[in-house]
Amino acid sequence: MRKQPKLKKQNIQEVFILLACASFVSALFFAVSSGENAGGGLFFAMLSTFINMGIAYVSLLATRKLEKVLKESNSKTT
């Protein structure tokens, strides 16, 4: 039985997506509680969410690339 890659086992992309959601919610609470500067807080919430979602997307692509490379290397050795 073939051993699965470590990144897939840890579900690293789900961790980054969860981080993005948590940062969005925390920044949204900051924007609501800040009063007059609510617009700046909402902008920060959206910006941090898009940055974290970009990180999650890149990690997902890296995981898929790693799986593809591992499949190719396993097929060449057998």
pLDDT digit string (tens) for 2-52?
A: 566 665 555 666 777 777 777 777 777 776 776 666 667 677 777 777 787
pLDDT at 15: 73
| Dist CA 40 CA 65 (whole Å) | 37
Compute the 3-state secondary structure of the chain and give helix, strand, coil in percent, each to the nearest 5. 90, 0, 10
pLDDT at 37: 64
Q: Are 35 and 71 in contact (CB under 8 A)?
A: no
pLDDT at 13: 66
**In this predicted model, which residue has the larger pLDDT, 29 or 68?**
68
Enumerate the domain spans of the chain.
9-77
pLDDT at 10: 58
Q: Are 24 and 48 in contact (CB under 8 A)?
A: yes
Angle at 55 between CA 30 and CA 23, to 5 degrees: 15
